[in-house]
Amino acid sequence: MATRVSIDRLLTPKKSIPYSLEIGAGVSVALGILVVWGLLTYGGVINPNFLPSPGSVLQAFFKLVENGSLFKHMKVSLTEIYIGFFLSSLFAIPIGIFMGSFRIVAAAIEPVVNFMRYLPVTSMIPLLILWIGIGLEEKIAVIFLGTFFQQIVLAADVASKVPDDIMNVTYTLGASKRQIVTRVLIPATLPGVMDTLRVTMGWAWTFLVVAELVAANAGLGYMILQAMRGLHPDRIFVGIFVIGFLGLATDLGFKWATRLMMPWSTAR
pLDDT of residue 83: 94
Q: How many domains are there within the chain?
A: 1
Position 104 in a domain:
yes
Q: Domain with 73 in it: what CATH number?
A: 1.10.3720.10
Closest CA to 216 of 144, 120, 123, 136: 136
Position 8 in a domain:
no
Position 54 in a domain:
no
Position 3 in a domain:
no
What contacts 95, CB < 8 A, 6 or more positions away?
105, 109, 152, 155
* ∠ CA 18-20-23, rounded to 5°: 115
Position 153 in a domain:
yes
pLDDT of residue 258: 83
User: Rounded to 5 degrees, what are φ and ψ at 161?
Assistant: -95, 5
Q: What CA–CA distance (Å, rounded) separates 126 from 132?
A: 10
Position 187 in a domain:
yes
Question: Helix (H, G, I), strand (E, B), or coil: what is residue 230?
Answer: coil
pLDDT of residue 212: 86
User: Structural domain of residue 220, as residue ranges?
Assistant: 68-261
Q: What CA–CA distance (Å, rounded) separates 240 from 29?
A: 19
pLDDT of residue 1: 42
pLDDT of residue 5: 45
Question: Helix (H, G, I), strand (E, B), or coil: what is residue 118?
Answer: coil
Task: Please give the full DSSP string across 134-150, using - where no structure is assigned.
Answer: SSHHHHHHHHHHHHHHH
pLDDT of residue 64: 92
Position 198 in a domain:
yes
Position 97 in a domain:
yes
pLDDT of residue 2: 44
Residues of the chain with pLDDT under 70: 1-6, 8, 265-268
